[in-house]
Structure 1
Amino acid sequence: MKKFNLLILLYVSLVLAGCITGQQDAVTLQSPAIIPEPVHLEVKDGVFQLTDRTAVSFRANDELAESTAGALNDILLPILDSKLEYRENTTTDVILFKTEAAIDNPEGYRLNVTDDQITISAGTAAGYFYGLQTLRQLWETTDQENKGGLLIPQVEIEDHPRFEWRGMMLDVSRHFFPKEFIKKFIDYLAMNKLNTFHWHLVDDQGWRIEIKKYPLLTEKGAWRVNKEHLHWNSRPKPEQGEVADFGGFYTQEEIKEIVQYAAERHVNIVPEIEMPAHVSAAIASYPWLSCKQEPIPVPSGGVWPITDIYCAGNDSTFMFLAEVLTEVMELFPSEYIHVGGDEATKTEWEHCAKCQQRIKDEDLANVHELQSYFISRVEEFLNANGRKLIGWDEILEGGLAPNATVMSWRGMSGGIEAAKKGHHAVMSPGTHLYFDHYQGQQQLEPLAIGGYSPISHVYTFDPAPDSLGQAADYILGGQANLWTEYVPTPEHAEYMIFPRIYALAEVLWTPRENKDWDKFISKVNRHLPLLDEKGVNYARSMNNVHVTPEFDKEKGTISMKMEAENPQGDIRYTADGSEPSVNSEIYLAPMSPDQTMTVKAGLFQNGELVGKISATEIFIHKAFAQQPEYKAQPAEKYSGNSDFVLTDGIRGSMNFGSGEWQGFNGDDLELVFDFEEPTTVSNVTVGTLQDNGSWIFRANKVVIYGAGDGSGLELLGDSKANISSSTVEKQVVDFYVTIPEKPLSRLKVVVYNIGVCPEDHAGAGRPAWLFVDEVIIE
């Protein structure tokens, strides 16, 4: 067995393994597991056996084909111990390369495998590259005990991408990643036929690109005080005397090396230079860039609201940006330059004399139009230098710059609005494509920013649904984003990327009608052993078992369904709190619990546990499966996954976006339960969430009222909060109310919101969120 690292090669990015000794008897291979699924794939009987006796062939003077043949030889040399020889006019035991201008799509290719030859046809180097990626997968993902070479299943493939922009963003500001990992990240994109690397080089917490005209940007702006031991959103402002030595940056020579590395793999790098907000690191380096022109430190953690922004009334700001962008354009040949444009709190502009004078001089209505002026002025500079501007969907506010492209992250509405106005858009909604979100049950995952985007959810995304009509023509494609506030290392980044990148690749390459979840997840299972060979730290979250309630309206009962995203294997479980094993009961159908219990479950394949054991407490109580009367409804976005979310027997985890909670923005929760028959109640427990960084705070107090038959409501008891609303640690805070035991026909539960965010919070004075689950009546 010979293993080799293909990162050093031009056209490859995986570690491959092959066995080369002697002849091989006829074998049966599994069907191909190509990700992303091709446009047309026909699998035929038989195989092609690739050995050191196989030849390569191409037309004379076809430099593109000759170069591709050389790249394939680089891949095969460590496997075969020799290079394939070139032979003219041969038709058997040969790999043919044909450059065909008739292949319209610049990234398209054809791949035909018969028993005596492989033919790869393309019109461009990119097409050939993707053809080689598919060929590589054909021998990597087929089960073979081959001692005579590589076995390639006979296939006929015609392929090209659905979208031209197939990308992923990596944030290197919140946490800096070394050059070696940036190259590895590019390899991950290339092997999955993704062609765009959005490089987030600038943000409040660090400036990561060397600008020779402004050396302080990296001498000072690239470094912050190390407060990694604290939660991201609870890191205090650096104090005078604290040493800023945590961070890093890329020299221009390193960037040139990375850009070349990416180009060889047909990955375009789109640099992002944030403006007018997310620029604390720049202002820390050159305070005259802000309206106040006062020194500030580089933040060590979260910043909200973002008020330290560039001064739009100062011409020196635009001179600075022009000189920075000039150096950026010299390093990056990308047609697009990303300018951010998001999350700018414009309070400083409202009080800045120069900004107000700019508004007056340019006949602008308000600070929103001033941001539009800011972005349009930068776009004019980029256009004059042959580049195009792209920014987050906030650049729509106050009017869209004439030629701008919108990257839609706050859902798809921004991209849709831009497309309907005749502007190009890239879809990147946080609902589906934020890879910093949890991909499994929060209690089984490393700390993340929040949200919930498992691989199955990523796979459902469509950047250009039919509802867009002709506006769909303006959708360039899509990309996933990996923000790194909670991703401090390359290993953690890999965990957040894999295996979700496989779903991203298929969403952006494969025709909608060719997508098939069951087939896709089966292919993912075939690719994971390759990641094991490479030592990639991928997530196994799709193997974890979820226990979810299902309500039967006719019977008025709730049953518990168990499922894992990965359908391969057996779910085994226990209902007594013990750890499940290969000998535990196999889950076959939803269970209907009649008493409080702890269900533990795991997915087993071939007698081995392949994920983590999940534990779910199911509470059967006197309000179980009841639908209470609400005085005020929860926020639409956080209404929960059913009408019975507060009484479904399953308590909410610490992931507020899981559908297990109901959220109320600034409002109290008031519920009334009507019992069919007088019911004796002794206590009520109400769970609330404390998630300071997400503006979610435990309740102030819970008050219980009750009434017997024919009587009015009376106060029965209350419970006050036992932790501060400023507590940073994320936790579920229970309110336990003991009440006098007596028969009740009606029970009223009032959960009081703290109202507004505390004075020491970034959102001080703004409406606070209250999240509640479950209401347990005993």
Structure 2
Amino acid sequence: MKKKVGLWLSLIMLLTIFGCADEGKTVFKESDINIIPQPDKVQFKEGAFRFTKDTQFVVPLEYAEVAEVLLDKFSKAAGWNLRVVDTEPINNYVQLVLDDALENEAYNVIITGDKVEVTANGYAGFLYGLETLRQLLPVAIESDNLVVDVKWDIPTVQITDSPRFKWRGFMMDVSRHFFNKEYILSTIDQLALLKMNTLHLHLVDDQGWRLEIKKYPKLTEVGAFRVDQEDKHWDARQTPKLGEQATYGGFYTQEDIKEIVAYATSRGINVVPEIEMPAHVMSAIAAYPELSCLQNPIMVPSGGVWPITEIYCAGKESTFEFLENVLIEVMDLFPSQYIHVGGDEATKTNWEKCPDCSKRVKVEGLANVEELQSYFIKRMERFISSKGRTLIGWDEILEGGLAPGATVMSWRGFEGGLEASASGHDVVMSPTSHAYFDYYQGNQDTEPMAWGGHTPLSKVYEFDPVVEGMTPKQENHVLGGQANLWTEFVPTVAQAQYMTYPRLAALAESVWSTKENKNWSDFSARIDALFNRYDAMGINYAKSAYQVTTDVSVDPENGTISIALKNEFPNADIRYALDGNDITTSSQQYDSPIEIAKTTEIRAQVFKDEEPVGVQLEKTINFHKAAGKPVTYLNKYHDNYQGAKEIGMVNVVRGSKNFHDGQWQGWLGDNMILVIDMETPTEIEEISVGSLENQGSGIYFPVEINVLLSDDGKTYKKEGTLKRDFAANIKSELKDFVIDLNKQTTRFVKVEAINLGTPPTGGGSWMFIDEIIMQ
């Protein structure tokens, strides 16, 4: 009898112990699982596993380093120094289990109330399994400071996961603007969080050589620095004079690179170096002029250069000796299988008149300088292949014939990838349409200056490296996809983060998850959880996806305008107010287009959980006196920029900083002259002319505006003029130029806007006008 009592007491004690362990654990819902990229399969079960200060990690000795991904997080956020052991405890542990049957980078996770098991066939799979656990943990795990009163619970789930593509890349341009080693290391952390495995460093371009090459010290002594013209628009910067002090720039020492590569390896990331050739190399030519055809001394450019004619001479053997010596040092630093050589945007003007290049064309039996570029790349491919590496280049390397072992990175759309894959070459898709993060992601009027184009979060999410028309054989040659951040307009870390995140998350899901598992509506819900993590990490991510945008349509017969409000996220809670009223939680909820027939200020904003998010839309529809009146163009707009044609100047709809928005009328090197018929004598006090300036795109404000009035449409008298001198402008800017008329009554109004004609950089200047407003 005593034995039975003792047995019962023991059972009760065990139940009490395990019951207490479950007591107070977080009760999860399936919607609490917000992993990006979306795994192949997630099976949700009731319950939770709790990390405590006694949780142990059971890790095979050779993979001990991978556990640091979570151990470091717990050390900072919870203040725990969790143990790594080689013997499986009774409970409360995370175990990494080797399974050779799994594919590379694949992993499985099984979470119960007692333990967590991560199964993989090697380092990368274990890493991705732990990164998944990280995303299941409370957001507080991202804190670099001690956080108290947190339940470090994760839901009990089973996850089966593997990547769709083997190349999941991000390119960072560190040439146009230099970013220090610390930022590169932090970028590596963010890539690992999203299971990206390739960091492509654009180390060389016209505006800066960023890698120490010991055999050629002037590459960084001279080529890494340029004259500081950061106060000017990138494409409006002057050519530096020889001898000007060059102070802006920087470079990575070889020790820096070794640290970057080692850290990236610990995070499952391959670092691919890009050493541009034969163009985008003015920084090298500034250091060693003998590398060019003309051998003229030049400075490192401070900004944009087009066309790019100062390129490596393809006729001299010394050019190839230089490049081979550089690449030997590069390959010693970067263990990457792939060496990127650029190969893009070479203007071959100097090759055509260079005797050395002409001799090379003749000796090699080449047809022209296009084939000379092919010779150049093929020769470098043979050298790189001889070292056991693989050459990769932008899709221009297809021109003149592709080197036998080369891989193509297709950026000018998908066509280069289609062509290369059809020829049996591997390709990485990186089209401007989906993968260029230097493009705008929101309303240009509220976004920081960017290169142009429009690549919002939802557009990135649509990216698929495999395109229609590919055969199964071609699909097998698609290694994957990559996002590119070119940094002409990205001078700071804060802006680099803004342009990168959250778009990188959308691209990560596009190259990891299966097509069947991709769903924009579902991703839109999960991205909120990632935003919370970015907040905790202090990342300056863009909230552009929350912006409200408008579709405006004009009904000239009824004299009304219809405004539709939109947002990227499905079923967004958009609220709006008219007549300048503030947006509040009680503001009107948008459900259908708004009809407007008088001057109105509209404000709109997305709300989430009864709180406003993103930038507020503010738009004024000005029904001025000339709205809808007949316009006669005495000097017509350019065919490429016709706006709303005959009613474009008086349709009330204003243009934005996106000069492709269909509202701008443009004149190239020419003046605007038009007449507005007010139809009846009308009192006018002032006239304003709406214009856009974006000097980097060749668009300039008018230098003079004249207003002439007439009662009969035949005899005109100048009644107002505005003159302004050209001024350098780094920004993209909208401006209304106002001419005061002192209340005059007239019927016909002639408006002349005088074009700058020839800008300081040469060529012709565009002048864009969107509306002529009469009050």
TM-score interval for Structure 1 and Structure 2 normalised by the shorter chain: 0.7 to 0.9
Change (3 A) 1:582 1:289: same
Percent identical among aligned pairs is 46
Shift of 1:116: 3.1
Tell whether the 8 Å contact from 1:558 to 1:625 is kept in structure 2 after alignment. no
**Match 2:621 to one of 618, 621, 627:** 618
When structure 1 is superposed on structure 2, of 679-688 and 233-242 the one drifting more is 679-688
- Residues 639-697 of structure 1 show CA distances to partners (whole Å, capped at 9, x for unaligned) of 88999987764311222245554678899999999x9x978889997645332211335
Give the deviation of 1:447 after TM superposition: 2.3
- Residue 268 (structure 1) aligned with residue 270 (structure 2): yes
2:508 maps to 505
Report the Cα offset of residue 138 of structure 1.
0.8
Matched, 1:46 2:47: yes
Specify whether residues 173 and 150 from structure 1 end up closer, same or farther in structure 2 by C-alpha distance, changes over 3 A only.
Answer: same
Further displaced range: 651-660 or 289-298:
651-660
CA contact (8 A) 1:669 1:751 kept: yes
What does residue 27 of structure 1 align with?
27
1:145-160 equivalent positions in 2, closer than 5 A: 149-160=151-162
> For each residue in 1:312-365, what CA deviation from the matched residue of structure 2 results, as whole angstroms up to 9, or x when unmatched?
111111111111111111111111111112222221112212222222222222
Query: C-alpha separation between the residues in 2 aligned to 1:418 and 1:198?
Result: 20
Residues 368 and 540 (structure 1), Cα distance of their counterparts in 2 relative to 1, 3 Å cut: same
Tell me the secondary structure at the aligned position of residue 244 of structure 1.
coil
Q: Which residue of 1 aligns with 2:770?
A: 773
Distance 1:224 1:753, change over 3 A: closer
- The equivalences for 1:306-317 within 5 A come to 306-317=308-319
Question: Aligned ranges for residues 589-608 of structure 1 at < 5 Å?
Answer: 589-606=592-609, 608=611
Given the alignment of the two structures, is residue 493 of structure 1 paired with residue 492 of structure 2, yes or no? no
1:439 maps to what in 2?
Answer: 441
Q: Deviations over 1:436-494 (max 9, x none)?
A: 22222223222222222221221122221233343333222211111112211212211
What residue identity is the alignment partner of 2:99? Answer: E
Cα separation, 2, equivalents of 1:556 and 1:514: 47
Distance 1:716 1:455, change over 3 A: farther
Counterparts of 1:419 and 1:397, CA distance in 2: 15
CA distance in 1, matches of 2:124, 2:233: 43
- Which residue of structure 2 aligns with residue 95 of structure 1? 94
Q: What is aligned with 1:127?
A: 125
Q: How big is each residue's C-alpha offset from its partner over 1:593-622, in whole Å with a ceiling of 9 and x where there is no partner?
A: 111222222334455443233221224468
Q: Distance in 2 between matches of 1:271 and 1:641?
A: 47
Does 2:421 align with 1:424? no
Pick aligned residue for 1:546 from 531, 545, 549: 549
Instruction: Provide the C-alpha distance between the structure 2 equivalents of 1:199 and 1:457, rounded to a whole number of angstroms.
Output: 24
The residue correspondences of 1:260-409 to structure 2 (distance < 5 A) are 260-409=262-411
CA distance in 2, matches of 1:177, 1:627: 54
Deviation digits for residues 384-407 of structure 1 (CA, Å, limit 9, x no counterpart): 111111112222222222222222
Corresponding residue for 1:528? 531
**What is the CA distance between 1:222 and its match in structure 2?**
1.0
SS at match of 1:467: coil
Q: Which amino acid aligns with 1:24?
A: G
Change (3 A) 1:464 1:555: farther
Distance in 1 (alpha carbons) for counterparts of 2:643 and 2:511: 30
TM (norm. structure 2) is 0.84
1:115 aligns with 2:113: yes
What SS class does the counterpart of residue 294 from structure 1 fall into? coil
| Cα separation, partners in 2 of 1:164 and 1:555, compared to 1, 3 Å | farther
CA distance in 2: counterparts of 1:617 and 1:148, whole angstroms? 47
What letter is aligned with 1:340? G
| Other-structure match for 1:761 | 761
2:208 counterpart residue number: 206
Hey, what does 1:562 align to over in structure 2? Answer: 565
Q: 563-572 or 133-142, which moves further after superposition? A: 563-572
CA distance in 1, matches of 2:758, 2:205: 26
Contact 2:704 2:724 in 1 (8 A): no
The answer as to whether partners of 2:70 and 2:134 remain within 8 angstroms in 1 is: no
CA contact (8 A) 1:634 1:664 kept: no
User: Mean Cα displacement is larger for which, 479-488 or 458-467?
Assistant: 458-467
Moved more, 188-197 or 368-377: 368-377
Q: Is the 8 A contact 1:716 1:740 kept in 2?
A: no
Three-state SS of the structure 2 residue aligned to 1:599 is: strand
Structure (1 or 2) with the larger CA radius of gyration: 2
Letter in 2 for 1:298: V
In structure 2, the partner of 1:10 is none
Alpha-carbon distance in structure 2 between the residues aligned to 1:640 and 1:108: 52
Structure 1 residue 71: Cα displacement: 5.4
Distance 2:243 2:204 in 1: 25
CA contact (8 A) 2:573 2:607 kept: yes
Cα separation, partners in 2 of 1:715 and 1:466, compared to 1, 3 Å: farther
1:480 aligns with 2:477: no
Greater Cα shift, 272-281 or 459-468: 459-468
- CA displacement at 1:108 relative to structure 2: 0.9
Q: Within 1, Cα distance between the matches of 2:509 and 2:554?
A: 34
Whole-Å Cα distance in 1 between the matches of residues 675 and 690 of structure 2? 17
How far 1:410 sits from its partner (Å)? Answer: 2.2
* Contact residue 224 and residue 246 of structure 1 kept, 8 A: yes
Displacement of 1:45: 2.3
Contact 2:559 2:597 (C-alpha < 8 Å) held by counterparts: no
- Displacement after TM superposition at 1:125 (Å): 0.8
In the alignment, the residues of structure 2 paired with residue 662 and residue 628 of structure 1 have an alpha-carbon distance, to the nearest angstrom, of 13
Quote the residue 1:11 is aligned against: none
Farther off after superposition, 426-435 or 205-214: 426-435
Q: Which moved more, 1:641-650 or 1:529-538?
A: 641-650
* SS of equivalent residue, structure 1 residue 156: strand
User: 1:236 aligns to what?
Assistant: 238
Mapped contact 2:220–2:251 kept (Cα < 8 A): yes
- Cα deviations by residue, 1:691-750 (Å, 9 ceiling, x for unpaired): 2211335579999999x9xx9x9898999995568854543466899999559xxx9999
TM-score (norm 1): 0.83
